[in-house]
Homo-oligomer: A and B are copies of this chain.
Amino acid sequence: MLTLEKIAQLAQVSRSTVSRVINDDPNVNDKTRLRVQQVIEQINFQPNTAARSLAGGRTRILGFVIPMGVSALFSDPYFPLLIQGVSSACNTLDYSVMLWLAEPEYERRTLRQVLHNRIIDGFIIASMIMDDPLLKPLMEGNLPYILIGRHPTNPDVSYVDVDNQNAARDAVSYLLRSGYRRIATIAGPQNMIGGVDRLEGYRAALRQWNLPCEDALIVESDFTEDGGYQAVQKLLPLQPEAIFTASDSIALGALRAIKDAGLSVPEDIGLVGFDDSSFAARMTPPLTTVRQPITKTGMVAAETLIDMIEHPGSAPRRLILPTELVIRGSCSSPRK
């Protein structure tokens, strides 16, 4: 087993100096630094994480917490992409990722692992249910953290998000400009901020056009295909001209339900999704949808958290990544 001591010996310096070199302490003579670095490189030395953690309190490990109260968690391509982004940023910055799929029945265990084991330097919370019982204690710990998706009320909480509200408003506005009037929405879960914001965007668009907002035309669903399918059953009797859905998975189920009812898209009903998942362009017809940069969101969350860890006491970070409306064949084009 290689240790600092060994390197020190080979480089003819003390353990302290080797440690300084490893931790980029400026107080090292350039020649000395070079010599030590060469030895380290040569025998491919890696300092022991546990020891560093014990002595210095840092581990270069990030926690990634996914509350599993959400059902659709892994049927949707969202989370895999998010994880990929987090992992990729960590690779670049030489951090590692600890993953907690936090099942409600293991809440205490998760809390103690995340907060009290001193094994991570900070954590990312993904897709938080707004009233998730895990949230409060996690936020009250004294570890740096960042949310994926803004916090509904507390402005001191750092987050990365997209502008769900405006993105949804623009998508619905596009439907309105295309001539659709009786527009329904299959909203996402209203205990998730993304779901709330997208619904609010839908409402904003109708307001902007001075159109009434019928409650019956709003159906809540989880982010799944089945949810979309069932929601359409409720909407069809109301004869909507178009449907804005809160995710592509929902849109997929909606499309199937519409077809099963003998109707077609976009001739009978216009359809718009959210995400621009890989399958959106391959649907028949291809889905008009809001593209959001999911992998990028994960990367930015990790990068920002690491920056927060390395600059303690800095102001809360609030980052909004851009979205883009991708026009495809699932709704007709704007008319004059």
A-to-B contact residues, CB < 8 Å: 44, 46, 48-51, 53-54, 59, 61, 64, 73-75, 77, 79-81, 83-84, 87-88, 91, 94, 96-101, 103, 106, 109, 112-113, 116-119, 225, 256, 278-279, 282, 284
> Within the assembled complex, what's the spacing in Å between the Cα atoms of A165 and B119?
42
Total copies of the chain: 2
Select which of B51, B117, B225 is within 8 A of A46 by beta carbon.
Answer: B117
In the complex the two chains form, is A48's CB within 8 Å of B44's CB?
A: no
> Within the assembled complex, what's the spacing in Å between the Cα atoms of A250 and B97?
31
Select which of B50, B84, B96, B103 is within 8 A of A53 by beta carbon.
Answer: B50
User: Distance (Å) between the CB of A41 and the closest chain B CB?
Assistant: 11
In the complex the two chains form, is B44's CB within 8 Å of A119's CB?
A: no
Sample (11) of A-B pairs whose CB atoms are under 8 Å apart: A49-B53, A49-B118, A49-B119, A50-B53, A50-B119, A64-B99, A75-B278, A87-B100, A91-B106, A96-B100, A98-B98
Beyond known contacts A94-B109, A99-B99: 6 more, CB 8 A cutoff: A59-B119, A88-B101, A91-B109, A97-B98, A98-B99, A256-B282
In the complex the two chains form, is B74's CB within 8 Å of A80's CB?
A: yes
Query: If the complex has contacts A87-B99, A113-B96, A225-B282, are A50 and B54 also in contact, measured as CB distance less than 8 A?
Result: yes
> Within the assembled complex, what's the spacing in Å between the Cα atoms of A123 and B26?
37
Q: Which chain B residue has the least Cβ–Cβ distance from A44?
A: B112
Q: Which chain B residue has the least Cβ–Cβ distance from A224?
A: B278
In the complex the two chains form, is A101's CB within 8 Å of B117's CB?
A: no
In the complex the two chains form, is B99's CB within 8 Å of A50's CB?
A: no
